[in-house]
Amino acid sequence: MKLFQIEEPDGSPVDPDAPGAAIGIDVTGSQAEVAVAIGGNAAVLNDRDGFEVDLTVPVSSAALPEWQLLLERARLRAERGLARPVTHAVVVADPAAFERIQSGAAEADLVLLRTVTLDELPAAEKRALAAALLAEDLAPSPRA
């Protein structure tokens, strides 16, 4: 049996303490949308066939575990699509749900960079994409 070592392209190991990707999540509809921005270009993330994740948005007064589950599933969709850890997010939501979203994010091990309302985003842009662009701007640097 032969053994071989797999290394990162530059030969150095991945820093487990480095921040992961930052995503945008829109929870203003009946289904949440997840997006990521890299270099100022944003794209909505979708599930692969056979690996669908239910992103049904709970009512704003729903219990904390429902919001936690939604945010965990949104993170899962992003991590599968990006093939890397996701640690930060900007969430677009109704202000009535802000407190539950903040608590749910903490329980889901997702650092909430900011929660925004619909009127804080450009009207011409898709909300998840605008949130992803904001998340990219607010995210800590991988070298920080």
CATH of the domain at 108: 3.30.420.40
Residue 121 DSSP one-character state: S
Q: Which domain holds residue 81?
A: 28-138
Q: With respect to residue 16, please indicate whether it lies within any of the assigned structural domains.
A: no
Q: With respect to residue 10, please indicate whether it lies within any of the assigned structural domains.
A: no
Q: What total number of domains does the chain contain? A: 1
Give, to the nearest 10 degrees, the angle between helix 98-107 and helix 64-82: 60
**Cβ neighbour number for residue 37 with a 10 Å cutoff:** 23
Residue 98 DSSP one-character state: H
Strand partners, 116: 92
Q: With respect to residue 61, please indicate whether it lies within any of the assigned structural domains.
A: yes
Judged by average pLDDT, the poorest of 67-76, 89-98, 115-124 is: 115-124
pLDDT at 54: 96
HSE, side-chain direction, 13 A CA sphere, residue 6 = 1
End-to-end CA distance of the chain: 41
**Cβ neighbour number for residue 107 with a 10 Å cutoff:** 15
Q: With respect to residue 5, please indicate whether it lies within any of the assigned structural domains.
A: no
Range 18-37 average pLDDT: 94
Q: With respect to residue 17, please indicate whether it lies within any of the assigned structural domains.
A: no
pLDDT category, 122, cuts 50, 70, 90? confident
pLDDT of residue 74 exceeding 80? yes
Tokens of 20: 């992961």
pLDDT for 2-12, tens place per residue?
555 555 555 44
Q: Say which residues have a Cβ less than 8 Å from residue 70's Cβ, sequence separation at least 6.
A: 27, 32, 55, 56, 57, 58, 104
pTM of the model: 0.86
Q: With respect to residue 18, please indicate whether it lies within any of the assigned structural domains.
A: no
Alpha-carbon distances, residue 84 vs 80, 81, 107, 128, 136 (angstroms):
7, 8, 20, 19, 15
Q: With respect to residue 1, please indicate whether it lies within any of the assigned structural domains.
A: no
Residue 58 DSSP one-character state: P
Q: With respect to residue 51, please indicate whether it lies within any of the assigned structural domains.
A: yes
